[in-house]
Structure 1
Amino acid sequence: MASRCILQIALLLSFTTSLSLSYDLLQLQQQQRSSNSACLKLLRQVKGKPEHCQQDRMDFKFPEEIKQPRPFQKEMAALVIQEMLQNIFVIIRKEFSTTVWNKTIVDDLLDKLHQQMDRLKSTILQERPEDTNMTTLRLKSYYWRISRYLTARENSICAWTVVQAELISKFPIINSLTDYFQD
């Protein structure tokens, strides 16, 4: 009789713990989606006329394994999202003084990006699988090409417009990676 009660209590505790973890991941996913939308909205608010800068378009070669990913574990998805957000943050913060973008909007955007990165830290494991290192290396190379492009174009308005469009185009990928949090 006592062992039966202990078994029931153990099952109840594991079920409660499982529900708690699922709720935490669901909450993180909802916060992430909300922040993604806010960042995207802010990024769209900064000035830029893409129709005037078509000749400046460039393929920065975003990593294919992230564009069309195999199913990611939530830790891997969180790591990739954090890497993307961190690089976006660095590009905008480093080069902001040379843009004609509204300072208030950019400050809000940087704040939202920073909040997202902080939230993701709790999901990322310390030990990273080897294929993660290659993925993050490719991401860093992608964002390095964007930064070099801005430098080569002397941070012109058109260069920033192209970069703005490029960054905006990556938020649907961030959203699709956020879907892996519930797995």
Structure 2
Amino acid sequence: MNNRCILQLALLLCFSTTALSLSYNLLRLQQFNSSVECQKLLEQLNGRPADCLSDRMDFKIPKEIKHPQQFQKEHAAFVIYEMLKDIFHVFKKGYSNPDWNNTIVTDLLSELHQQMDLLNTTVVEKLGEENKRQAYSMIILRLKSYYVRIRMYLEAKLYSSCAWTVVRDELYWNFSFINRLTDKFQN
């Protein structure tokens, strides 16, 4: 009787590990495609006016995001989720560049929202509070500070066209970093 229970438990663990592994592979492909789509949408927004060069700013993205070697799959998923959520909030704030096509911004918000939902249902909810606490270490705090600097910059510049162009360029590169983190989903 005990042997049968142990066998059933072992099979359950094996199947759940395999299922989560397949989820990560699918998630990796979907996340990469979504990032590419978001970058295309950002490119479609008006380009940088020549007189905006003086508005450039280094928002200081955390080093761990640029070089994510130490991340495990689970933690990378949490970080990506937080990045997508913060990018969403930058654009969702309600202040957009009046020169931008609102349809493109709406499409970008929709793409971000879909990917956040997918990450949340595929990984974030399943991994539980313990992994969430580990992922919400100092890196998440530094990441949140990074996005606060972006929002404060927009506010200080009164949401000008140049400020939005600088922010758009910064967020464009965020998707390259997200793709590096997404590579952690590979087996």
Match of residue 164 from structure 2: 160
**Partners of 2:155 and 2:9 in 1: CA distance:** 60
Q: CA RMSD in A?
A: 2.5
**Partners of 1:14 and 1:133 in 2: CA distance:** 28
In structure 2, relative to structure 1, the CA distance for the partners of 1:131 and 1:88 (3 Å cut) is closer
Deviations 1:148-169 (A, max 9, x none): 1111111111111100110011
CA contact (8 A) 1:48 1:157 kept: no
Greater CA deviation, 173-182 or 10-19?
10-19
Calculate the TM-score normalised by the size of structure 1: 0.86
CA contact (8 A) 2:97 2:164 kept: no
Match of residue 151 from structure 1: 155
Deviations 1:63-97 (A, max 9, x none): 11221223211111011111111111001110434
In structure 2, relative to structure 1, the CA distance for the partners of 1:100 and 1:153 (3 Å cut) is same
CA contact (8 A) 1:56 1:159 kept: yes
Identity %: 50
Unaligned runs of 5+ in 1: 1-6
Calculate the TM-score normalised by the size of structure 2: 0.84
Structure 1 position 48, deviation (Å): 2.5
Unaligned runs of 5+ in 2: 1-5
Structure 1 position 99, deviation (Å): 3.6
Asked if residue 126 in structure 1 is aligned to residue 114 in structure 2, the reply is no
Match of residue 47 from structure 1: 46
